[in-house]
Amino acid sequence: MTSNAHTAWDGLILGASLATLDAPAGYADILDGALAWKDGALAYVGPRSGLPDAPQRLAREVIEAKGWITPGLVDCHTHLVFAGDRAREFELRLLGASYEDIARSGGGILSTVRATRAADEGELLRQSLPRAHALISDGATTVEIKSGYGLDFDNERKMLRVARRLEQLGIGVRTTYLAAHALPPEYAGRADDYIDAAIEWLPKLHAEGLVDAVDAFCEGIGFTPEQTRRMFEAARALGLPVKLHADQLSDLGGGALAAAFDGLSADHVEHTSEDSVRAMAQAGTVAVLLPGAFHVLRETALPPLEAFRAHGVPMAVATDCNPGTSPLQSLRHAMQLACTHFRLSPEEALRGATVNAARALGLHDRGVLRVGARADFVLWNIQHPAELCYWLGGRLAQSVHAGGHRVT
């Protein structure tokens, strides 16, 4: 909690309490705090009383504030770039249709594929921007965005290009290649051939700087563990980290499969076995909880939360923002759902959307308030951090900074 040797800081906020999360447990709070930044990084994190000089001599801009400051939220699992919506499918599920029924009848992911393929890059960006703005306005400063609604080279590329263009909003964006999301109609009955094609596209997209990680949907209605393994081997050959849609609807050993490739994360994990939990713990693979999909699908099988805690597997929380199973545009609301459905404590949920979510993206420069970390932080109009998981809806963020720049 010390300052860098400095010329004038770019900015300094005084008076707000700080939930630094820079400790193994607790909020690591600092009351009547001071937070300074310079050149996009945090330069002072500590009590106001510890400042080395009068505030006006220390920074170009000095802001008196009330409330709490937390690290910027990190949404480590989204499908934010897509065209169209699936509101009708939401209605069908309420009338009794299952997720599998809808998928097998040509709906589900493939209906979004049709809409996304029909949209050009400009239209896809136009439709995606409001979702990105919604996440930012509720505290997100880093967002992971997956492909997977193109399912051919040109349209996967289009999705990843749009995801990269969202960096214009000033936030951090991590792109994930998810061509192994569903089988496109032109490959019906030829899943192995499709995986061959998706593996062939990967080096080309990586060479264009469009891929930060590789993911797959390993499930009975998705791809087999062996097909997933082939995709992950291709990622490893390129030095790309992997993530996995694992054990959402059944236990195919997805958590262990992700761990076998030193995966950054295994996501969903409702049906993950304790053997897979042990493998994840040994590999350092983060369990990403997606309570939005659990809520919308009205699932009942809880992730093995006590096993994650017992084996020391970090738990992240994300929106899974997507048009079909989690049309959720607030990471703070995802935190609330994680507390309500999964019985996470508010502290666990906040850590899940900050430090653990950053770890699930392989990012170690954010998710905490610490000198030298990226200056991603949110000033909240709250009396205690637990309020972030208490209120359903409403605007709590007074200001959101990413890389030292105010983005809302």
User: Mind listing the pLDDT tens digit for each residue in 273-286?
Assistant: 999 999 999 999 99
Q: Does residue 2 lie within any of the structural domains?
A: no
Rg over alpha carbons for the chain, rounded to the nearest Å, is: 21
Residue 52 to residue 9: CA distance in whole angstroms: 12
Q: Which residues are annotated as a binding site?
A: 77, 79, 86, 149, 181, 245, 248, 320, 322, 324-325
Calpha distance 338→313 (Å, rounded): 16
Binding site members for Fe(3+): 77, 79, 245, 320
Q: State whether 387 and 341 are in the same domain.
A: no
Pairing of strands 11-14, 62-64: parallel
CATH code assigned at 374: 2.30.40.10
- How far apart are the C-alpha atoms of 74 and 273, rounded to whole Å? 27
What is residue 99's three-state secondary structure?
helix
Determine how many CB atoms are found less than 10 A away from the CB of residue 341. 16
pLDDT of residue 7: 67
Reduce the DSSP state of residue 84 to 3 states and report it: coil
3-class state of residue 45 by DSSP: strand
| Model pTM score | 0.96
- Burial class for 237, CB neighbours closer than 10 Å (0-12, 13-18, 19+): exposed
**Domain region containing 44:** 9-71+368-406
My answer on whether 177 and 88 are in the same domain is yes
Same domain? 87 vs 158 = yes
> Which residues of the chain fall below pLDDT 70?
1-7
Q: Are 350 and 202 members of one domain?
A: yes
Give residue 109's pLDDT: 86
Total number of domains in the chain: 2
**Domain check: are 235 and 322 in the same one?**
yes
Cβ atoms of 180 and 199 closer than 8 Å? no
Residues 17 and 135 in one domain: no
**Could you tell me if 117 and 235 lie in one domain?**
yes
As a whole number of angstroms, the distance between CA 361 and CA 241 comes to 9
Question: Which tokens hold the place of 168?
Answer: 């214009």
Binding residues for 4-imidazolone-5-propanoate: 86, 149, 181, 248, 325
Say what the pLDDT of residue 3 is: 43
Among candidates 159, 151, 143, 168, which has minimal Cα distance to 83?
Answer: 159
Q: Would residue 46 count as lying in a domain?
A: yes
| Residue list, annotated binding site for Zn(2+) | 77, 79, 245, 320
